[in-house]
Structure 1
Amino acid sequence: MSFYEVLVFIHIFSAILGMGPGFMMILVVSKSSNLTELRHSYAIRNRLHIFTMIGGTLLLISGLLMGAIHTNLFQQGWYVTSLVLFLVALAFGPLLLSPRSKPIKKLLKEARGEDIPVGYGALAKKLFFVERMENIIFLVIIALMILKPF
């Protein structure tokens, strides 16, 4: 097995490790029926996020190393487009996701009782919209990696 083939293996494994849990993050919190369940769901979600960060980092590193080994990849439209889309999705974290998740964290921390706070639904809707957009970007990237259309 060549070094490049090892990188391909790491890249595919990282996609499963990083993107798989990322696609489930909305589902984990969307079925909570009370505040205790919702808090627990967000705790699970935070643990899943660790896998997405590790997998995403390995994806970027292995993808760039494969490009460094086979520099012609940087002339392939699917590769460059995938890389740009990945960087856009990466920017979602600090620019779009964090500002939408901080009010939810604060609301859940300050809430009392077992009822889900009234304002949670609107905040979650905004967060989940951005997450769905990010998931669509990742699905496009996966399609580009498989099909290599241009």
Structure 2
Amino acid sequence: MEWLIWIHVLSAILGIGPTYFGHILLRKKQQREQLLQSLVLFKLLNYFPKIGGSIAVVSGVALVASSGWKFSDLWILISLVLYVLIQVVAVGMLGPVLGQLNQVLSVGDEKASDPETTANKTALLTKANQLYNTASILGIVLIILMIVKPM
């Protein structure tokens, strides 16, 4: 069972940790080309939570099944709900916003300086940052819950 704990902790660290770099990648005062590059890097970083987060969930479920804990324990239920909420925000809501942002940024150079394009870019980037901050805060709460769980 100790090896399962190690897998769970390492996959959580490797899966969740790199996602916090997104705050740097989605900063507001970037040129168009910089933001396009940041979106490419952001997409690459998303492999970490998809793979590591999935392993963390599977190993967490295995830990609960093989220990004295029950899925009805409040901290386990809250943890699972938080994980699902993070996925809804990060994949279901943030993903489409970043796709729209990518489309707005991919217009030709002559339209890139258009006030409407700039306003759309600013609005989408603000929305993306709000969603990303929400997912990050939920992730921090989840990590804290994992640390202070009932022993």
Match of 2:39 among 37, 42, 51: 42
What residue in structure 2 maps to residue 134 of structure 1?
135
Give the match for residue 147 of structure 1.
148
- Cα distance change on mapping 1:29 and 1:89 into 2, 3 Å: closer
Cα deviations across residues 56-91 of structure 1 (Å, max 9, x unaligned)? Answer: 111111111111112524243212211111112112
Paired with 1:144 and 1:49, the residues of 2 have a C-alpha distance of 23
Q: How far apart are the structure 2 equivalents of 1:130 and 1:88?
A: 11
Does 1:59 find its partner at 2:60?
no
Larger displacement relative to structure 2 (133-142 or 86-95)? 86-95
Distance 2:19 2:84 in 1: 16
Deviation at 1:43, TM superposition (A): 1.1
In structure 1, what is the equivalent of residue 88 of structure 2?
91
Which runs of 4 or more aligned residues in structure 1 lie more than 3 Å from their structure 2 counterparts after TM superposition? 113-117
Number of aligned positions between the proteins:
147
| Distance apart, 1:111 and its partner CA | 4.1
Structure 2 unaligned segments of length 5 or more: list them. Answer: none
Please give the alpha-carbon distance, in whole angstroms, between the structure 2 residues aligned to 1:115 and 1:33: 14
Q: Which moved more, 1:137-146 or 1:71-80?
A: 71-80
The TM-score, its normalising length taken from structure 2, stands at 0.85
* Cα separation, 2, equivalents of 1:16 and 1:134: 16
What is the rounded CA distance, in whole Å, between the counterparts of 1:47 and 1:99 in structure 2? 16
The RMSD of aligned alpha carbons is 2.2
* Sequence identity (%): 29
